Structure 1
Amino acid sequence: MHGHKISAAPDYTNAALVSFAINLAWIFFAIWAAFGLVPVLLLAMMLNHLIGRLQARRRG
């Protein structure tokens, strides 16, 4: 291990975002099938609000 150089870790941001979007889509579809469109819209609004709060917090 003494001769090996340490390289930078690969950036998996895009893969993680795509995976998140796919999982979110099937969860929304399952909620829609079970309970209707209104709970999906409420969940989407809640997630949008939480993402907005995180964005504002990161900006300071």
Structure 2
Amino acid sequence: MNNKPVGRAPNFTNACIVMFGVNITWVLVVIWSLWGLLAAVFLGLGVNHLIERGRVWAAARQAASIRRGKRF
């Protein structure tokens, strides 16, 4: 029987952010090579817009949750 205490899970946030950057880079390079620079630029702008909208949606959900008396 294993009597060791259970430790905390490692924080992989930084690794996730770095790998997102690596993946979006190679995807944009492939799109650039297949369809040109404008397609890659528009895809990058679209991803940026979605990330910013996600922040707005999260803030709206948090505000609604606080109004209901719950902590988000």
Runs of 4+ in 1 over 3 A off after TM superposition: none
In the other structure, the counterpart of 1:15 is: 15
Q: Work out the CA distance in 2 between the residues paired with 1:27 and 1:2.
A: 45
Q: Which one has the largest radius of gyration?
A: 2
Q: Which residue in the other structure is 2:67 paired with?
A: none
2:66 matched residue in structure 1: none
Q: Find the counterpart in structure 2 of residue 46 from structure 1.
A: 46
Shift of 1:4: 1.8
| 1:6 aligned onto 2:2 | no
Give structure 2 stretches of 5+ with no counterpart. 61-72
Query: What is the identity, as a one-letter code, of the residue corresponding to 1:47?
Result: V
Deviations for 1:9-38, whole angstroms, at most 9, x for unmatched residues?
000010111111011101100110111011
The answer for the alignment partner of 1:36 in structure 2 is: 36
Identity across matched positions, percent: 33
Aligned length: 60
Which amino acid in 1 is paired with 2:58?
Answer: R
